[in-house]
Structure 1
């Protein structure tokens, strides 16, 4: 099981013990666990909560029942630490519906527990169901809406700046029509002009030391980037991809249950 190097050993140990307790209570095996919040996007503050999503697999006979049981579990341990679990069948059904917004956490930058072969197969499945046009439109709408909230003379918080910047960067990645965009903001702005990447590095570094609502450092170059990039992105047209055959999902589900159940 691989673990993200960006997670502190103390937090990893806390999460792992929680996952082990959940496995015992569910009588199931947790095969993936990732952060679905700001930590998974690489934009955490010092006080950002841990929002952990995990995927579990029951024993094979559990899936042979007429009423096998709930497909999800919610474990809100505290405001700062929560765990939400999906049974593997629920995950596959959600992916089949091409509901990309509900499964973006599969590309999280903060991984607590995973299996490389499983991640590889999930990434291939994500690409098969990916519909870039609506995803692009949604990110452009988010960026435009959030930028519209800025007012002259208002001091931006880091959160207020990063929300439209992240949406713009995600839209830029989606416009390449090369599958779902990464969750890690540092991967998203990699390759931009050096003055923008340096500014973003500093902003994220400062945010990690402070609270969520601290004032944003100078972000002039990044604002210029957004002002130039969003009009270009609005002109991008992307094709609609055909939905894959159900057998693709059936095969993945059966293979995963046989392997981990």
Structure 2
């Protein structure tokens, strides 16, 4: 599948006259809990030729292929990516942490990784993951019977919040590491580990009776972390001049102008 993805990326470069600076896997495969039928969520950052940016009109800064049952491929223009990076965008921070890399040219990804801890905002990340956990819980885990695989999409952001509260740093991408370091209750950990084993073994994990120990953890954590999130402040340095320099340098590096 890696070769298929790389071929699709090369086709996008040719068709749209751009260069992909890096492309990685995101979603369940990057988080460490793919099912046998999980699709591939490919995310990338790209750069156009210098003249593309010299226009009096705004241009579309997102590029994607039609989604099918196997592939979900989309990316951001470098300026969009750097603007979001300046705001400590959690999705982009996760792309940088992904260990499944399809393309990584010219050192751009490494440069952002070096800057990521300086631009990281615990407040932004905390609110992002808390909103994700709360929204997924309300949408997918109500009632006496629930789709069990949906637990992961609530537990992972909640455990990320626990990490941020404790460490004030970017949370690990891998779900297993978050469970290992953030879950101390043995009964809760046992249920999560069993659910993870079943999901990765290919069990369907369709509608099943709710798992009370996990529900109790989710409900208690949502209430507690919502209060904790209000205490976070954001006093980061403005990195706009640094990111402007990165943008200009990669315009030259990518196209050798």
| Alignment TM class, shorter chain as reference | 0.7 to 0.9
Match in the other structure for 1:42: 32
Residues 61-210 of structure 1: pairs in structure 2 closer than 5 A:
61-64=51-54, 70-101=60-91, 104-114=94-104, 117-144=107-134, 146-147=136-137, 150=141, 154-191=144-181, 192-193=183-184, 195=186, 199-210=191-202
Structure 2: any 5+ residue segments left out of the alignment?
none
> CA separation in 2, counterparts of 1:82 and 1:53?
8
Counterpart of 1:40 in 2: which secondary structure? helix
> CA separation in 2, counterparts of 1:178 and 1:121?
21
1:253: Cα distance to partner?
A: 1.3
Counterpart of 2:27 in 1: which secondary structure? coil
Counterpart of 1:46 in 2: which secondary structure? coil
Paired positions, count:
250
1:33: Cα distance to partner?
A: 1.0
> CA separation in 2, counterparts of 1:65 and 1:234?
44
1:114: Cα distance to partner?
A: 2.5
Cα displacement string for residues 194-217 of structure 1 (whole angstroms, at most 9, x for unaligned residues): 945565444223212336653579
1:165: Cα distance to partner?
A: 1.0
Which residue among 21, 25, 45 is the counterpart of 2:15? 25
1:172: Cα distance to partner?
A: 0.9
> CA separation in 1, counterparts of 2:65 and 2:203?
25
> CA separation in 1, counterparts of 2:119 and 2:63?
25
The one of the two structures with greater contact order (alpha-carbon pairs below 8 A, sep at least 6) is 1
Structure 1: any 5+ residue segments left out of the alignment?
1-10
- TM-score of the superposition, structure 2-length normalised? 0.77
> CA separation in 1, counterparts of 2:107 and 2:193?
31
Match in the other structure for 1:238: 232
Match in the other structure for 1:214: 206
- TM-score of the superposition, structure 1-length normalised? 0.76
Larger CA deviation: 72-81 vs 11-20: 72-81
1:169: Cα distance to partner?
A: 0.6
Match in the other structure for 1:257: 251
Contact 2:61/2:76, CA 8 A, preserved across alignment? yes
Larger fraction in helix? 2
1:75: Cα distance to partner?
A: 0.9
Contact 2:88/2:124, CA 8 A, preserved across alignment? no
> CA separation in 2, counterparts of 1:116 and 1:239?
35
